[in-house]
Amino acid sequence: MRFPTLLAAILAASSALAADRTVTDDTGRSVAIPEQPARVVVMHEPLLGLPLMELGVDVVGSYGRKDDGSFITPVDFVDTVFGPGRVKPRGIGPVGQIDLEKLRALAPDLIVGMELDVEKVEQLSTVAPVYLQNVSTGKAHGFSVEEELANVVGRKEAFAARRSAYAARLAAVRKALPDDGKKKTYLAVFLTDQLNALGDMSGAVQALEDLGYTRLSLAAENAPAGQGGSMLLVPLGAEAFGRLNPDLLVLMNTYMGDARDAQGTKAALERIVPGWERFLAPAKEGRVLYLDSAKVAMPTIASAEHTLDAVEAWIKR
């Protein structure tokens, strides 16, 4: 065997050599990445891919997509958040079985993963530099992931422009919101086969808090508050839910089905808490906002804007 040939071929096989600057990712690793990555692969499309797409980054691959371009869940979040017509990322192998050859064929110059992907880093790094981003509750809030990723991929201006448009929209909606000078609370509940308090990281939470609402404290109800690194949901007991009285109750049904409108959400909650509309104070007093989880649960500015649209419609109802 001629070792120089072998060594050269193996070294050439790593595209990580094309790095331009060194950054420290959220797990404390130093990673050499391109100044403005041109081809990015994400390890979680809704939480990492969508914020990057909104910044104009070309997300060429995503863990959870199939070869035919379809997504693992019935809902394609690229369509629900940004509208139809966008080019979809390609798959990198079925869930649980990342295909490194398929990943390499996409020729990425950066792979963005979550902090939970730390054990995959060694293998993924054979294809391209890997940046790990915190996405867990307590570590990320609202669309902070998008802001942090904008710094990583050199798209600060794109983020600033989007944020500015969002701020204008927010000001308009806030103006329309009745203000009695009191601090108002909200509780966002995501319905699966149980009740879940929506975690900190989503466009919906960002918009509601930017509108002046503060999260209803669940400590008095002994409900868990996101321990263990949950990204999206915190289980909430039906009994505890019945006692809660936020100024604004935000309900959204799971994105695993089509019944995400107000009627579908009401029916889903009826199955878990029968008769809730008759005894729950926010329901009796018309303080319930219904949101489409497939549009608002992602950490993107677009998701926050979808929430503002829904709030505006609720004010005008």
Q: How far is the CB of 306 from another protein (least distance, A)?
A: 23
> Measured from the CB atom, is 39 or 102 closer to another protein?
102
Element (H, E) at 188: strand 184-191
Q: How far is the CB of 97 from another protein (least distance, A)?
A: 5
For residues 146 and 205, the answer to whether their CB atoms sit within 8 Å is: no
> Measured from the CB atom, is 177 or 240 closer to another protein?
240
Instruction: List phi, psi (to 5°) of 153.
Output: -95, 10
Q: Which of 39, 73, 126, 209 binds another protein (CB under 8 A)?
A: 126
User: Which amino acid, residue 93?
Assistant: G
Window of 117-125, 241-249, 252-260, 281-289 that interacts with another protein by CB under 8 A: 117-125
> Beta 195-198 vs 233-236: how paired, if at all?
antiparallel
For residues 297 and 202, the answer to whether their CB atoms sit within 8 Å is: yes
3-state secondary structure of 90: strand
User: Which amino acid, residue 238?
Assistant: A
| Residues in Cβ contact with 157 at an 8 Å cutoff, skipping those fewer than 6 apart | none
Read off the tokens for 74: 């019935």
- Residue 218 burial (CB count, 10 A): 18
- Give the integer Cα–Cα distance in Å for 188 and 251: 6
| Contact pattern for another protein over residues 201 through 240, marking x by CB under 8 A | --------------------------xxxxxxx-------
For residues 41 and 103, the answer to whether their CB atoms sit within 8 Å is: yes
Q: How far is the CB of 280 from another protein (least distance, A)?
A: 26
Window of 75-83, 116-124, 214-222, 291-299 that interacts with another protein by CB under 8 A: 116-124
Q: Which of 18, 100, 267, 315 binds another protein (CB under 8 A)?
A: 100
Q: Which of 120, 163, 169, 266 binds another protein (CB under 8 A)?
A: 120
30 interacts with another protein by CB under 8 A: no
Site for another protein in 38-97 (CB under 8 A): 66-68, 91, 93-97
215 DSSP β-pair partners: 186
Q: How far is the CB of 232 from another protein (least distance, A)?
A: 8
Which residues of this protein are in contact with another protein, per CB under 8 A? 1-2, 5-6, 9-10, 12-13, 27, 66-68, 91, 93-102, 104-105, 114-116, 118-120, 122-123, 126, 136, 227-233
